């Protein structure tokens, strides 16, 4: 186990925010975690688990030991008449996994193409896009308990997946290090085309029965058109969750702003498009220092160069206040703020 000290985390967070880790340990296997737990100085923590760094906002240097998850490997675990079960190491790149499964002829993850980040981070926030969430394709995951060093396999119920949420953001936050994730890709494959922008692609192209690779190509094109590439402009994807309101609250907002984008949910509540609310308050393109609201999608905050975590937070708070002032809705940040 190699321990690095004073490591800059700027290259390891997709926002490109400056922060230094007092100590950094690269985790490539369950055994590495056990060595860490047994380590006389570092065993007791505090620890900070770093995956792909695409869903965090670093506002300070980290006094904890940063565990950079680099467990690799991808394989087909089993196949029967009902599904392919595919496993990937937590350190694998998410998009590369999606593309690899498609190339192997195992469809099912195509709607989640081009989401930045690592495989191990995907269950933490139950990544989702274009009508599909990770939980819809989840089989189980392996994790190591950072207090005991014990390896466990967790199924969907323990993971408590919800909209951009899971047990790993709550009870198991900082305690469970995910090492491998398994996916259930159901047979026969059926396309998920209910999202408005995919319906539009079907209408535009006249292709009513697209294959999985074509859906991935469409998703990639849609994302490229409105989401900034973190390799070029630092960002952490959507900065706020889409808020859920009661039908009464929604009616109240519609009375004042008939154009508000809203989606009725199965439980009777209504989800509002946070990007629309922020856009309606005139935030597109506005900045605090190096942090800006992206011009093509108001839900995304970007690093225009040299932004600090506190500038990102100042901008985020100003947005929250203005959306609350106009609509009476409190926006909740989506990335983990450190």
State the nearest-atom distance from the C-beta of 222 to ligand EPU, in Å: 8
- Catalytic pick among 54, 140, 176, 238: 238
Query: Of the ranges 60-68, 79-87, 235-243, 245-253, which one interacts with ligand EPU (CB under 6 A)?
Result: 235-243
State the nearest-atom distance from the C-beta of 188 to ligand EPU, in Å: 24
Query: Of the ranges 148-156, 203-211, 237-245, 313-321, which one interacts with ligand EPU (CB under 6 A)?
Result: 237-245
320 exposure class (CB count in 10 Å sphere: 0-12, 13-18, 19+): middle
Active site residue 334: yes
Q: Per CB under 6 A, does 275 bind ligand EPU?
A: yes
State the nearest-atom distance from the C-beta of 293 to ligand EPU, in Å: 8
Active site residue 176: no
In order of 77, 111, 127, 274, the CA distances from 180 in angstroms are 12, 21, 16, 32
Active site residue 238: yes
The site map against ligand EPU for 278-297 (x = CB under 6 A) is -x-----------------x
Enter the tokens of residue 280.
Answer: 């309606």
Q: Per CB under 6 A, does 276 bind ligand EPU?
A: yes
**Residue number of the CB atom closest to ligand EPU:** 237
State the nearest-atom distance from the C-beta of 149 to ligand EPU, in Å: 33
State the nearest-atom distance from the C-beta of 193 to ligand EPU, in Å: 13
SS3 sequence, 268-335? Answer: CCEEECHHHHHHHCCCCCCEECCEEECCCCCCEEEECCCCCHHHHHHHHHHHHHHHHHHHCCCCCECC
Q: Per CB under 6 A, does 130 bind ligand EPU?
A: yes
Taking 3-state DSSP, the helix, strand and coil percentages for the chain, each rounded to the nearest 5, stand at 30, 30, 40
Do 94 and 61 meet the contact criterion of CB atoms below 8 Å apart? no
User: Of the candidates 119, 299, 316, 331, which one interacts with ligand EPU according to CB under 6 A?
Assistant: 299
- Catalytic pick among 164, 180, 182, 223: 164
When computed from its CA atoms, the radius of gyration of the chain, rounded to whole angstroms, is 20
Instruction: Tell me the number of residues near ligand EPU by CB under 6 A.
Output: 16
User: Of the candidates 16, 53, 237, 243, which one interacts with ligand EPU according to CB under 6 A?
Assistant: 237
- Catalytic pick among 70, 92, 110, 334: 334
Do 327 and 277 meet the contact criterion of CB atoms below 8 Å apart? yes
State the nearest-atom distance from the C-beta of 16 to ligand EPU, in Å: 16
Dihedral angle of Cα 60, 63, 64, 70, to the nearest 10 degrees: 60
Site for ligand EPU in 156-185 (CB under 6 A): none
Q: Per CB under 6 A, does 193 bind ligand EPU?
A: no
Specify the residue, 36 or 50, whose C-beta has the smaller distance to ligand EPU.
Answer: 50
State the nearest-atom distance from the C-beta of 263 to ligand EPU, in Å: 9
Specify the residue, 123 or 275, whose C-beta has the smaller distance to ligand EPU.
Answer: 275
Q: Which regions of the chain does DSSP assign to beta strands (E)?
A: 3-8, 20-27, 47-50, 56-57, 62-69, 74-79, 83-89, 128-129, 132-133, 138-145, 151-154, 176-186, 234-238, 244-245, 262-264, 270-272, 287-288, 291-293, 300-303, 336-337
Quick check: bond before 177 cis, omega within 30? no
**Closest CA relative to residue 235, chosen from 117, 96, 79:** 117
- Provide the binding-site residues for ligand EPU, judged by CB under 6 A: 129-130, 227, 237-238, 241-242, 261, 273, 275-276, 279, 297-299, 334
Q: Which residues are catalytic?
A: 164, 238, 334
């Amino acid at each position: 186990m190699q321990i690095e000290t004073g490591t800059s985390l700027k290259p390891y967070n997709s926002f490109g925010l400056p922060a230094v880790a007092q100590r950094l340990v690269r985790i490539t296997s369950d055994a590495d975690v056990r060595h860490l737990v047994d380590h006389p100085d570092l065993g007791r923590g505090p620890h900070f688990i770093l995956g792909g760094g695409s869903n965090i906002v670093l506002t300070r240097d980290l006094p904890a030991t940063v565990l950079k998850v680099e467990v690799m490997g991808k394989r087909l675990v089993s196949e029967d008449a009902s599904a392919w079960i595919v496993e990937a190491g937590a350190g694998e790149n998410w998009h590369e996994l999606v593309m690899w499964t498609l190339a192997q002829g195992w469809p099912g993850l195509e709607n989640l193409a081009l989401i930045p980040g690592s495989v191990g981070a995907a269950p933490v926030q139950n990544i989702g896009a274009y009508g599909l969430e990770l939980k819809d394709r989840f089989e189980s995951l392996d994790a190591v308990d950072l207090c005991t060093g014990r390896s466990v396999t967790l199924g969907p119920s323990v993971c408590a997946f919800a909209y951009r949420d899971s047990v790993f953001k709550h009870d198991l936050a900082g305690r469970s290090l995910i090492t491998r994730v398994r996916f259930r890709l159901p047979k026969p494959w059926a396309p998920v085309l209910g999202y408005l922008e995919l319906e539009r692609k079907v209408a535009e192209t006249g292709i009513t029965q697209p294959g999985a690779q074509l859906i991935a190509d469409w998703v990639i094109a849609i994302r490229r058109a409105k989401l900034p590439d973190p390799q070029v402009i630092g960002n952490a994807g959507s900065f706020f969750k889409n808020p859920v309101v009661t039908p009464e609250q929604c009616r109240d907002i519609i009375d004042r702003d008939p154009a508000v984008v809203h989606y009725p949910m199965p439980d009777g509540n209504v989800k509002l498009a946070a990007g629309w609310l922020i856009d309606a308050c005139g935030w597109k393109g506005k900045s605090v220092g190096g942090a800006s609201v992206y011009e093509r999608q108001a839900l995304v905050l970007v690093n225009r160069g040299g932004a600090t975590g506190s500038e990102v937070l100042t901008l985020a708070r100003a947005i929250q206040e203005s959306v609350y002032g106009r609509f009476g809705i409190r926006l909740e940040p989506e990335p983990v703020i450190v």
